[in-house]
Amino acid sequence: MSKEEQTLRIDFDNMLANRIGGLYGITREELETQRVQAAKYFQELMEERSKGSHPFLELPYQKEVADRILKVARQFIGRVEDFVVLGIGGSALGNIALHRVLNPPNYNELKEERKDFPRIHIIDTIDPDIFSGLLRLIKLEKTAFNVISKSGSTVETMAQFLIVRNLLKERLGRNYNRHIIATTDPENGALRQIAQREGYITFDIPKGVGGRFSVLSPVGLLSAAVSGIDINRLLSGAGNMDYRCRSDSLWENPALMNSILQYISYTKGRHISVIMPYSSALEGVAEWFCQLWAESLGKRLSLEGQVVNCGPTPVKALGPKDQHSQLQLYMEGPYNKVITFLAVDKFNSTVGIHDAPEEDLQYLSGHTLGGLMEAERKGTQIALTEAGRPNCTIYLPELSAFHVGELLYMFQLQTVLAGKFFRVNAFDQPGVEAGKINTFALLGRKGFEERKKVLGAFLSRLS
Ligand code: PA5
């Protein structure tokens, strides 16, 4: 098979009753019962898409945007030593995922290998120690900051931005604005107004594309391009997955099949959805997926307005590390989990294990670390299957931009389809508002005076 023909593969067999038994596996009849409904939901989604409702699905085809990103990226490559992303949640996790999976491990330390490409720092925290650590590391005059916020008002990102803007002004005077790129809503929000007023380079987060669905927009693509990731291949991979997911038949559409298997598992008591890559590079993708799955599906109200308090709990594990930590629980604990393995057919490096004179270690002779990784993954997969624990495996032929694009696109589509099965709005996040309001009140933001009084009374009862 040629490189171009290779594509992501998914093996669902270990989810099914004929593999793991009828008690915990999904039967053909259960799938058959949902088949017509699944087709209906898929057609509904495509209908909504044709009316422009889900612009994230069109991101693979934004050629002009990709061209402009590459143009702007070239302005910074070779001119700055550090490129810092300021953002949080969906405005950072996609960047982290891309950087970790498509740049070499220890990328920032590989000065020779990186050549002109700057170091990348994605600061999705307001931890003062991390922030001051960053400031000690970089030279402001040799750094560009990409401030990313769809709303343009997220407290963590705006706090980071205010610090950086001030420092840049102090150090660089009137040219400070050349060091800030704002990625935000095309019209609304404080960040958009500031960027326009102060003359930053800006990128739009398209209308209707929410944070956790924005990795293939300028949100994720700019820092990727600045570090030399082939964003056009990433988008082609996403487009290829879009093409593969055009059927309303479960057996032909991996995103639809994944969503229904996860949904049926949930209805049968498998409330925890573990994602377990056997590749450290994919750990960031697993974290990104956890946010996508949790924020999209964890909801109090159904689309019909009933209180449902539903949603699978995503958990990230890492192979083989978590074989020595979580696996005991997955093998023998409650039957409340479904496990998705991420496997890589071919790692970027081959590291042979040296022959051992010690008899007990001779079985390792002639093997590689990649081969050992595969044996451990297969061993774990079979052990779980034999123990009646539902699991499936997504295989990436290699860690390339194309296959990562396929994976990210499939996960996003799968999430929206799962939202239809769960009957929830996959695009909102009302549950995070309460905490935000309390934070604003505690910080004394105008308009939150009443809430401040309530919190004051609450806190005095505690003390
Ligand atoms: O996925 C989401 O919508 C959220 O996680 C947001 O990305 C996060 O809250 C940050 O929001 P914003 O991009 O508006 O700063």
Dihedral sign (CA 342, 223, 232, 103): negative
Q: Is the pLDDT of residue 73 over 60?
A: yes
DSSP for 29-41, written as a single string: HHHHHHHHHHHHH
Tell me which residue has tokens 């420092």. Answer: 167
CA–CA distance, 275 with 283 (Å, rounded to integer): 9
Q: Is the pLDDT of residue 355 over 80?
A: yes
Atom 8 (ligand 1) nearest CA? 89
Percent of the chain exceeding pLDDT 90 equals: 94
Of these residues, 187, 436, 449, 453, which one is catalytic? 436
Residues 6+ apart with CB under 8 A from 106: none
Alpha carbons within 13 angstroms on the beta-carbon side of residue 453 total 3
Q: What is the assigned CATH class of domain 9-47+240-422?
A: alpha beta
Do the bridges between strand 337-346 and strand 391-398 make them parallel or antiparallel, or are there none, so unpaired?
parallel
pLDDT computed for residue 23 by the predictor: 86
Taking the centre of ligand 1 as the mean of its atom positions, its distance from the CA of residue 91, in whole angstroms, is 6
Atom 12 (ligand 1) nearest CA? 149
Atom 3 (ligand 1) nearest CA? 211
* pLDDT band at residue 421 under the 50/70/90 scheme: very high
Tell me which residue has tokens 């209180």. Answer: 307
SS3 68: helix
The answer to whether the 9-47+240-422 and 78-227 domains have the same CATH topology is yes
Of these residues, 30, 156, 283, 295, which one is catalytic? 295
Residues 6+ apart with CB under 8 A from 383: 331
pLDDT tens, 5-34?
Answer: 689 999 999 999 999 998 899 999 999 999
Pocket test for ligand 1, best of 123, 153, 154 (most atoms within 8 A of CB): 154
326 phi and psi angles, rounded to 5 deg: -80, -25
Active-site residue flag, 324:
yes
Taking the centre of ligand 1 as the mean of its atom positions, its distance from the CA of residue 211, in whole angstroms, is 5
CA–CA distance, 253 with 210 (Å, rounded to integer): 24
Which stretches within 54-138 are classed as H helix? Answer: 63-76, 93-102, 111-114, 128-137
pLDDT tens, 326-342?
Answer: 999 999 999 999 999 99
Q: Counting atoms of ligand 1 from 1, which one is nearest the CA of 189? A: 14
Taking the centre of ligand 1 as the mean of its atom positions, its distance from the CA of residue 89, in whole angstroms, is 5
SS3 400: coil
Identify whether 320 is preceded by a cis peptide bond (ω within 30 of 0): yes
pLDDT tens, 244-262?
Answer: 999 999 999 999 999 999 9
Q: Is the pLDDT of residue 153 over 70?
A: yes
Q: Is the pLDDT of residue 434 over 90?
A: no
Taking the centre of ligand 1 as the mean of its atom positions, its distance from the CA of residue 183, in whole angstroms, is 12
Taking the centre of ligand 1 as the mean of its atom positions, its distance from the CA of residue 212, in whole angstroms, is 7
Sheet with 272-277, side-by-side order of all strands: 9-11, 391-398, 337-346, 272-277, 313-316
CA–CA distance, 397 with 451 (Å, rounded to integer): 53
The ranges assigned to domains in the chain are: 9-47+240-422, 78-227
* pLDDT band at residue 1 under the 50/70/90 scheme: very low
CA–CA distance, 320 with 62 (Å, rounded to integer): 38
Average pLDDT of the chain, as a whole number: 96
Q: How many CB atoms lie within 10 A of CB 460?
A: 8
DSSP for 402-447, written as a single string: HHHHHHHHHHHHHHHHHHHHHTS-TT--GGGHHHHHHHHHHHT-TT
Closest listed residue to residue 205, CA positions, set 118, 94, 291, 306: 94
3-state SS track over 324-354: HCCHHHHHHCCCCEEEEEEEEEECCCCCECC
pLDDT computed for residue 55 by the predictor: 98
What's the rounded mean pLDDT across residues 119-126? Answer: 98
Q: How many CB atoms lie within 10 A of CB 388?
A: 15
Active-site residue flag, 109:
no
- Residues with a CB atom less than 6 Å from ligand 1: 88-91, 149-151, 154, 157, 210-212, 295, 429
Compute the C-alpha angle 66/72/75, nearest 5°.
Answer: 145
Sheet with 82-86, side-by-side order of all strands: 119-123, 82-86, 143-149, 180-184, 201-204
What are the CA-CA distances from residue 237 to residues 61, 318, 404, 412 (Å)? 11, 24, 7, 14
pLDDT tens, 54-68?
Answer: 999 999 999 999 999
pLDDT tens, 259-302?
Answer: 999 999 999 999 999 999 999 999 999 999 999 999 999 999 99
Tell me which residue has tokens 């589509």. Answer: 413
pLDDT computed for residue 5 by the predictor: 62
Q: Is the pLDDT of residue 116 over 60?
A: yes
Q: Counting atoms of ligand 1 from 1, which one is nearest the CA of 157? A: 15
pLDDT computed for residue 460 by the predictor: 87
Q: Is the pLDDT of residue 4 over 60?
A: no
33 phi and psi angles, rounded to 5 deg: -60, -35
Q: Is the pLDDT of residue 415 over 90?
A: yes
Tell me which residue has tokens 């405005």. Answer: 91
Taking the centre of ligand 1 as the mean of its atom positions, its distance from the CA of residue 353, in whole angstroms, is 44
CA–CA distance, 213 with 411 (Å, rounded to integer): 10
Superfamily designation of domain 78-227: Glucose-6-phosphate isomerase like protein; domain 1 (3.40.50.10490)
Of these residues, 3, 324, 354, 446, which one is catalytic? 324
357 phi and psi angles, rounded to 5 deg: -70, -25
Maximum Cα–Cα distance for the chain, whole Å?
74
Do the bridges between strand 180-184 and strand 143-149 make them parallel or antiparallel, or are there none, so unpaired?
parallel
Compute and round to an integer the Cα radius of gyration of the chain: 23
Active-site residue flag, 4:
no
Taking the centre of ligand 1 as the mean of its atom positions, its distance from the CA of residue 449, in whole angstroms, is 25
CA–CA distance, 13 with 109 (Å, rounded to integer): 42
210 phi and psi angles, rounded to 5 deg: -85, 165
Q: Counting atoms of ligand 1 from 1, which one is nearest the CA of 154? A: 15
Q: Is the pLDDT of residue 461 over 50?
A: yes
